[in-house]
Structure 1
């Protein structure tokens, strides 16, 4: 098994490419403007570095007119890369948007969820019901979060080459009446509709399966190459920003857990029949 790019190095490279694209600059225009070599900007955007100078990231952010909060985040990542802090630890200084940025680059997404419908498959009404129950959000913040989640879905699932999305969700996720019967009926119909797409596979893990490999452990595996056994990261969601795992052992373990959990779940076809019975 090959090892992919460390999480924050990948995230930094992704953001640098996006900022340059937003600034409508080519790589050649960038290296000439900063007096660099062509190879330097290519290495940075490919993530082919172990450590990077904060001053280089600062120069790029200034050239790209990056938002202050984004620039500060990327500069801090560059500074941290100069220390001996292990890449695989939890990164509390990486903003929640890091997951969305990595998710948008993934070619394969494998997700196991327990109590809720996965975010990429939620309807607007279902999302609104969740946000209404959230603590500490104003109505304006809830609306912004709703729109950001819908944009996340559109950006990922409606693009020209969407990722292969394989989801296993516990029966509790489709049984829990988020927003009431009408909202859940609409949500189940949405699962049936989106499950017909060639890049989407949905399986329900029934209560009757009993104990299973992923018991109590919701997680997402993001893969960034055609071979999803390589160049992957595992994301464990938490109340904060979550944990990123990228060692070969952790990726292999979670891949095995996901595979065995799929074996315990209803097949894709049987899941369709099961969901139809809930409407």
Structure 2
């Protein structure tokens, strides 16, 4: 069975509903496993969302729990199971790391993304030329792999215009982001103009953290916080030189949220930020 790293919102939702049905029968995971002929650990991984169960597995569980397949919640849970078995576009790209692909899967389901970047423009706001320059740094020189990553970044940006509910993006960028000539002056100028244009959309907020703000709680690097619908817990995401990290515990998320609020207070207002970016673009 395919495993998630970490569980996705949909896989957790399915697992949570199946757990409720099991508990309604007053069964332990061991008892549920015996009824459908599988191990306790498998039931545990299904309920935690760590694996994508086969449709047949869910049918067996629903029948064991005396849940009609044609009524609710059986019908909806089977539909959710089938959705989990469908591959996302990001899973067909060889150039993406497993954790980055998982982040994209989360991003596709998120309703809000809070993102702080200390040196580079956030991926959802990047132009093709800027993204190409970023993905060419420190990477193999395989042009096809680079282009695949660039196209993946541009496809990700579709969440900002999806209907009926586009992703709400609140991006805070350091002033350094507006100065680093990624790809050269012309690429940077075009990138800054692009940010100004996107900041005019109602679901996109951009703030600039000036050098004058001094030391902050985020001096060690950038991060992202993804929020979801219903009662799905948020997810933290941090990129490090050693790889990407997912943060799931409430304490970790609360810490990231506090840091983001701290940065939001120190940064220029959205209106002042757009004006500053526009001025910087005209001066590059």
Structures share fold, TM-score greater than 0.5: yes
Alignment of structure 1 residues 212-223 onto 2, 5 Å? 212-223=216-227
C-alpha contact 2:160 2:168 (8 A) present in aligned 1: no
2:29 paired residue number: none
2:8 paired residue number: 10
CA 1:224–1:140 in structure 2 vs 1: closer, same or farther (change >3 Å)?
same
Which residues of structure 2 form unaligned runs of 5+? 15-54, 63-68, 92-96
Give structure 1 regions of 4+ aligned residues with deviation exceeding 3 angstroms: 30-36, 38-46, 63-67
CA-CA distance at 1:134 after TM superposition: 3.2
C-alpha contact 1:203 1:266 (8 A) present in aligned 2: yes
1:249 counterpart (248, 251, 262): 251
C-alpha contact 1:7 1:233 (8 A) present in aligned 2: no
Q: Deviations over 1:37-95 (max 9, x none)?
A: 3467855877xxxxxxxxxx9xx79x96869xx7xxxxxxxxxxxxxxxxxxxxxx954
Which residues of structure 1 form unaligned runs of 5+? 1-5, 17-29, 47-56, 71-92
2:184 counterpart (180, 189, 208): 180
Determine whether 1:261 maps to 2:263.
Answer: yes
Aligned length: 222
CA 1:40–1:97 in structure 2 vs 1: closer, same or farther (change >3 Å)?
farther
CA-CA distance at 1:96 after TM superposition: 2.4
Cα distance in 2 for residues equivalent to 1:268 and 1:103: 23
C-alpha contact 1:235 1:245 (8 A) present in aligned 2: yes
1:97 paired residue number: 101
C-alpha contact 2:172 2:207 (8 A) present in aligned 1: yes
CA 1:65–1:118 in structure 2 vs 1: closer, same or farther (change >3 Å)?
closer
Question: Structure 1 length normalisation: TM-score?
Answer: 0.69
Question: Structure 2 length normalisation: TM-score?
Answer: 0.68
Q: Deviations over 1:147-184 (max 9, x none)?
A: 11111112x11201111100001111111001111111
Determine whether 1:153 maps to 2:157.
Answer: yes
Cα distance in 2 for residues equivalent to 1:182 and 1:231: 41
1:133 paired residue number: 137
Cα distance in 2 for residues equivalent to 1:108 and 1:66: 23
CA 1:235–1:45 in structure 2 vs 1: closer, same or farther (change >3 Å)?
farther
CA-CA distance at 1:214 after TM superposition: 1.7
2:198 paired residue number: 194
SS of the residue 2:8 aligns to: helix
1:164 counterpart (152, 165, 168): 168
SS of the residue 1:98 aligns to: helix
CA 1:110–1:44 in structure 2 vs 1: closer, same or farther (change >3 Å)?
farther
